[in-house]
Amino acid sequence: MDDLIPRATAFIAQHGMWAGPIVGLLAFGESLALVGLFIPATALMIAVGGLIGMGAVEPLWIIGWAIVGACLGDWISYALGRRIGPSVYRRWPLNRHRQMVARARLFFRRYGFLSIFAGRFLGPVRATIPLVAGVMDMQHRRFQIANVTSAILWVPVMFAPGYFAVKSLGSVEHVTEAHLLGMGVVVALLTIAAAAIGARVLGRSDRKRSRRRTPARAR
């Protein structure tokens, strides 16, 4: 796993023709229900941002494929939720992540349209919010508006740290392993921050829900 990101980044840099589809597939996997938990797409997309900063790959080609992949990942998750219905929560692998699913359901009930948009940036719910939206039978048009607009914003945000890190060095020759390690630290911090924000938002919703139920039990 330690060699996966450098090897994948080198392959993308050397095979410009396939760079777009590869990055699109990464964004697709990152956005697909639960699959995103097992794919290090975040770190790879940061690294690809560095390649864009170096001029090693065509930016519009890469960004376009990434947006399409991200939209398709959420769309398929949504479609699965609508087709299978609530029973999907009792199936593997969701039945092994009940707390995460419960939080995603609560987040969607509370914020609706906004949860689809914001959920793409929040690690704890990103992999399941579109699925929950499908199960809850969210209007297709509203879902797609949130899906597409969030993907258009999310992709540049994912590429930005690597891009600006390389640009700040002045030239490709100045990029060293230490700089790449620094980009990795930035990725880790951004991921932790997003997870912390998501956990805080979800935790606050849980507490409010508990307070609403307490008087009912007392009566």
Is pLDDT of 151 > 70?
yes
Q: Which of 68-72, 157-161, 211-215 has the highest mean pLDDT?
A: 68-72
Instruction: Tell me which long-range contacts 194-200 makes (C-beta under 8 A, separation of at least 24).
Output: 194/121, 194/122, 194/123, 195/122, 195/123, 195/124, 197/122, 198/122, 198/123, 198/124, 198/125, 199/124
When computed from its CA atoms, the radius of gyration of the chain, rounded to whole angstroms, is 19
Q: What is the pLDDT of residues 21-33, one digit of tens each?
A: 989 998 898 888 7
Of the ranges 64-73, 105-114, 170-179, which one carries the lowest mean pLDDT score?
Answer: 170-179
Q: How far apart are CA 64 and CA 148, in angstroms?
A: 12
- Give me 98's structure tokens: 């009940």
pLDDT band at 203 (very low <50, low <70, confident <90, very high): low
Residue bearing the bigger pLDDT, 184 or 35: 35
pLDDT band at 18 (very low <50, low <70, confident <90, very high): confident
Contact 45, 52 (CB under 8 A): no
Category of 86 on φ-ψ map: left (φ > 0), alpha (ψ -120 to 50) or beta? alpha
- Give me 40's structure tokens: 């290090």
* 120: CB partners within 8 A, 6+ apart: 31, 70, 74, 126, 129, 150, 151, 154
pLDDT band at 219 (very low <50, low <70, confident <90, very high): very low
Domain interval for residue 129: 4-218
Is pLDDT of 15 > 70?
yes
Domain count, the chain: 1
**How large is the average pLDDT for residues 74-98?**
88
Q: How far apart are CA 187 and CA 73, in angstroms?
A: 22
Residue 14 has what pLDDT?
A: 80
Q: Which of 18-22, 30-34, 148-152 has the highest mean pLDDT?
A: 148-152
Residue 214 has what pLDDT?
A: 47
Percentage of the chain modeled with pLDDT above 70: 71
Q: What is the pLDDT of residues 97-121, one digit of tens each?
A: 788 888 889 889 988 888 998 888 8
pTM beyond 0.85: the answer is: no
